[in-house]
Amino acid sequence: MIPLHEREVWLRGPLPRIPALLQPVAHALLQAREEVNALMHDFPDELLRERLTPKSETQPVASAGFHLQHLAGVLDRMCTYARGESLTATQFNALSMESQPAGSFLTTMELVRRFSEQVDRTLEQIKTTSPKTLTEPRAVGRAQLPTTVMGLYVHAAEHTMRHVGQLSVTVRLLR
């Protein structure tokens, strides 16, 4: 039998204090963190801003630095919307910075740490989310697009895993 710590997160059992309907979201975020930590271990800082261009395309794909910045940013924004709040000026500034190079002052490990800390904050918010609120309406962005609290959390998880997959391919090709 596979030891518990070697199984994927969702196969390790329920997480304490996480509402049952949000267990898959929490499992996905913890899995993403584990994969990012493993993937980015010893990744050279000088490759953070490298953008590869596939042979069949003219536009380069996003850099590893972008994915790491975006992973943390999306979780922060989805949590804000789930609380029924609007984004702050600081969050809008961070969003605009995601498309910029990761910045010469940010190292791989700093970006990984920021993502990990945002996963922790997201899990803490999920722990305090009442299951009764999951179908409550919420609005996203300036256009105030309709969704629900559950929709925001599910999107946070699936969007995170999508970018972890893209990060994985980019990092493997750069190495």
In a domain, 138, yes or no: yes
- Give the domain CATH number at 28: 1.20.120.450
In a domain, 57, yes or no: no
Residue 162 buriedness (CB in 10 A; 0-12 / 13-18 / 19+): middle
Domain count, the chain: 1
Tokens of residue 12, six digits: 């390790």
Q: Is the pTM of this model over 0.85?
A: yes
In a domain, 33, yes or no: yes
In a domain, 25, yes or no: yes
CA torsion, points 122, 128, 133, 137, in degrees to nearest 10?
-30
In a domain, 7, yes or no: no
- The position carrying tokens 């000088």 is 46
- Write the pLDDT tens digit of every residue in 16-62: 999 999 999 999 999 999 999 999 999 999 999 999 998 888 999 99
In a domain, 2, yes or no: no
Domain range enclosing 151: 19-41+63-174
